[in-house]
Amino acid sequence: MSLKVHLDYLIEKVENLSPIEGLASLADQFSGKIVFSSSLGQEDQVITQLITTNMIPIHIFSLDTGRLFPETLDLIARTESKYNTKIKVLYPERESVENLVDDIGINGFYDSVENRKACCYVRKVEPLKRALQGNSIWVTGLRAEQSANRCDMKKLEWDEANQIIKFNPLLDWTYEEMISYINNNHVPYNPLHDKGFISIGCAPCTRAILPGEDARAGRWWWEDSKKECGLHAR
């Protein structure tokens, strides 16, 4: 039976649960088949805290693109130490990265949207597909407030590209709610957030935002696009 046919039942069962309750319910129903992809952003750090402190059996992984900020890599170690957990780190395929750089140059992603998406695919999308393979539930830290193209997402939805059910437990959280939770629970976070970096990705593709700018404005600031890398294609 296709995994997709379970979606309506799961929406009815999980939609109105708290993030902790939703994570625990899905982990129970899909034991060993539920994973959380953390980009080490503030939302993801909240979810990591929920999973680890409540001992919810969900595997946590992260993608190291090879171009991350040192502060992001340091946060992996700090998070593992604080919560006595292990975050599996996945890397892009060496040959694919070498071919990409040969084709577009080391910083060729600045030259066109197509080049940037090709870089994102090699460094992020392909490793993600490997991580999701064989699983049924993909937990993410997406929030509707983050961008216009995320405001119509649902807590539980079908991800056609990866043939998996995606669960967004913090979808309806506001930025203020998230920051309050981080402060009240002493959740470790990237110090770049305190310097105006709201959405943090690869170092060459991320800048601090200006007062009044959209939270995603600091990502791929040189192009006019939907500010997505392809991990959450719709």
Catalytic residues: 229
Can you tell me whether residue 50 is helix, strand or coil?
helix
Q: Buried b / exposed e across 27-62, counting CB within 10 Å, b at 16+? A: bebbeebbbbbbbbbbbbbbbbbbbbeeebebbbbb
C-alpha 36/C-alpha 49 separation (Å) is: 12
Contact partners, residue 187, CB within 8 Å, separation at least 6: 42, 45, 46, 49, 181
Instruction: Check if the beta carbon of residue 36 is closer than 8 Å to that of residue 164.
Output: no
CB atoms within 10 A of CB 82: 16
Which amino acid makes up residue 109? F
Residue 132 Cα distances to 123, 128, 139, 165, angstroms: 15, 6, 10, 10
